[in-house]
Amino acid sequence: MKGDGSSDGKVVRLIHRGTTTPRRDPAIDRVEQTLREALCTLDDDLLDTEDQAAIASETRFLQRFGFDACRARRRLVLEFKHVADVTDREIKHLHRVGCLCFRGQGIRISASAFVAAYGWCLISYFAVLMGLAFGRMVMGSHPSALVMGLLAVFELVMIVGMGLAHRVYIQPRRILCRIRMKVKA
């Protein structure tokens, strides 16, 4: 019986010792506890209670940002908001104009410099049209009230077009450049 090792007292003692918890150094326990607390407070500092509520509730997120997303994407949006230091209105605007893209496990802003240059070209074109129309009216004979009214409507339409071109084509690029400068700093 001693040869097979099944009833040997040493084997029983080894199994018994293996089931007891080993003694740990209290310093290691304190370091682990400090790290756990630091990680918990880091997540809590990044996302406040309003952000946590927006992650938990689709309707709160929809009211806040104007679009719906799954829980993982809601968390990405809110973490991006705090890391990039953008406002809720900017996130809503970026999503509305199609510049806020979800790529894998992250968020990307797609705002090309060429699109921004196109926006500046549109604004310049509208400004030239406004100047030509106004100059034509001033250089001509005494315009009637109807012509003056039409010119005023035309000028207002051009101003609205300039504002729209700025919001759609130029503002996303400005937000992206501001985020890049903050990340580099």
Cα distances (angstroms) measured from residue 156 to each of 76, 162, 168: 40, 10, 18
CA-closest candidate to residue 109, choices 97, 122, 117, 121: 97
- Tell me the β-bridge partners of 35: none
Buried b vs exposed e over 71-87: b needs ≥16 C-beta within 10 Å?
eebbbbbbbbbeebebe
Structure tokens at 159: 């101003």
Domain ranges of the chain: 26-109, 113-184
Three-class SS of residue 3?
A: coil
Q: Per the confidence metrics, is the pTM higher than 0.75?
A: no
With contact defined as beta carbons under 8 Å apart, do 101 and 114 qualify? Answer: no
Per-residue pLDDT of the chain (185 residues; tens, 9 = 90+): 455 545 444 444 334 444 455 566 777 777 677 766 666 655 445 677 888 888 888 999 999 999 999 888 998 999 888 888 899 999 999 999 999 988 878 888 888 999 999 999 999 999 999 999 888 888 877 778 888 889 899 999 999 999 999 999 999 999 999 988 877 76
pLDDT at 23: 65
- Tell me the β-bridge partners of 109: 100
Structure tokens at 40: 């918990």
Alpha helices in the chain (DSSP H): 9-19, 26-46, 49-56, 58-65, 71-84, 88-96, 113-139, 145-165, 171-184
Cα distances (angstroms) measured from residue 64 to each of 77, 97, 102: 12, 17, 18
Distance, CA of 162 to CA of 154 (rounded, Å): 12
pLDDT at 52: 87
Which distant-in-sequence residues (6+ apart) come within 8 Å of 102 by Cβ?
A: 73, 76, 108
